Amino acid sequence: EAQVTQNPRYLITVTGKKLTVTCSQNMNHEYMSWYRQDPGLGLRQIYYSMNVEVTDKGDVPEGYKVSRKEKRNFPLILESPSPNQTSLYFCASSLMGQGSSPLHFGNGTRLTVT
């Protein structure tokens, strides 16, 4: 089944404790991206990647890191999480480009930073 898999689904952590949210897609998509969703603010892009070893900042990259060492994986790293990073995170992939082909979203990761 074609899908984008995120883990974990739920994560509660404390301020400053490094964490990684994994994202993997099995559709051989070139493009992958991370979004955060907050009430009243919609979907805001954190980072995106056009291909292996190619990443770029989205609208809200501060406090986040990403890497794209393999085509299928695009982990999101929070080196020192803070409470304002409490949010619902979505990974997405598409065959090409930033929305010129449909985005396939993962099931989301709900992160709480205390």
- Residues in contact with other proteins by CB under 8 A are 30-31, 40-45, 50, 56, 90, 96-100, 102-103, 105-108
Give the Cα separation of 41 and 6 in Å (integer). Answer: 22
CB of 97 to other proteins, least distance (A): 4
CB of 69 to other proteins, least distance (A): 20
Nearest to other proteins of 7, 45 (CB atom)? 45
Taking every pair of C-alpha atoms in the chain, what is the biggest distance, in angstroms? 38
Listing DSSP states for 38-97 in one string gives ETTTEEEEEEEEEETTEEEE-S--TT-EE--SSSSB--EEESS--GGG-EEEEEEEESST
Nearest to other proteins of 8, 102 (CB atom)? 102
CB of 38 to other proteins, least distance (A): 10
Nearest to other proteins of 14, 96 (CB atom)? 96
